[in-house]
Structure 1
Amino acid sequence: MDPFSLFMIAALGLLIFFMFRNSRKQRQAQQELQDNLVPGAEVMTSFGLFATVMSIDDDTNVATIDAGSGTVLRVHRQVLTKVIHDEPELETESADSATEASSDDAGRESRDS
């Protein structure tokens, strides 16, 4: 066997390994999403709507969600793409960056005067 053939076989083996690995990760992420889809969970749909899950019918794959102000929608279960978890750290980081930005603007204004 020449070195080029060995390289091509190794590259093919590596490609197959990464395909299986990626597939396993996607299945795991999908299973985690399905486990977190329970009534009361905050979700985001594939078209960017934030809502609360009211019920899920496993037989027909229909989810009933409350989009706020009493707006109740029936959507296919696959539309629910992300479960939103409360992350207070992000709120404090954004508040800190907002105060830094306002102090930078104040410093710039004093230099301009």
Structure 2
Amino acid sequence: MLFLQNAATGQTGFQLDPLTIIMLVVLAAMIFFMFRSNKKRKAQAEELQTKMVPGAEVMTNFGLFGELREIDEERNEALLEIAPGTIVRVHRQTLARVVEDDAVVAEERVDDVGDADEPRDRA
């Protein structure tokens, strides 16, 4: 019966209804943002690798801070000095970021604001 109705009206070809157009636009936007985020992530990874040099202060994924002593590319390991004379061996991919002096100063400011001696206003 549906076939007869279409044949009777003479509609042939593919029609683009508004819902189809909207779905195609959303799909195109998703693909665009996916490639954009991948590009940003790759740039951040390259920047991190250029900063990972022996002597840099680093933080691991699990929150361990230390000074990077050596990176072994073949074994995919890094040596961190977490205290004078204490060196730990970690997987290279656990190195999350390079700690810069600006971040330490910002953390100290946050600690100074939250002193327990001063009453906080909860308004």
- Global fold match (TM > 0.5): yes
1:27-66 aligned within 5 A: 27-66=42-81
**Percent identity between the two aligned chains:** 41
Distance 1:67 1:15 in 2: 43
Q: Give the deviation of 1:60 after TM superposition.
A: 2.1
Q: Which amino acid aligns with 2:52?
A: L
Which consecutive unaligned segments of at least 5 residues does structure 2 have?
1-15
Distance 1:53 1:85 in 2: 13
Distance 1:10 1:21 in 2: 16
Q: Give the deviation of 1:98 after TM superposition.
A: 5.0
How high is the TM-score relative to the length of structure 2? Answer: 0.74
Q: Which amino acid aligns with 2:20?
A: S
Which consecutive unaligned segments of at least 5 residues does structure 1 have?
109-113
Distance 1:78 1:91 in 2: 25
User: Is 1:2 equivalent to 2:17 in the alignment?
Assistant: yes
Deviations 1:9-49 (A, max 9, x none): 00000000011111111111111111100000001111110
Query: Which gives a bigger RCO, structure 1 or 2 (Cα 8 Å, sep 6+)?
Result: 1
Q: CA-atom RMSD, angstroms?
A: 2.3
User: Is 1:94 equivalent to 2:110 in the alignment?
Assistant: yes
User: Is 1:22 equivalent to 2:48 in the alignment?
Assistant: no
Larger radius of gyration: 2
> In the comparison of the two structures, how many residue pairs are matched?
105
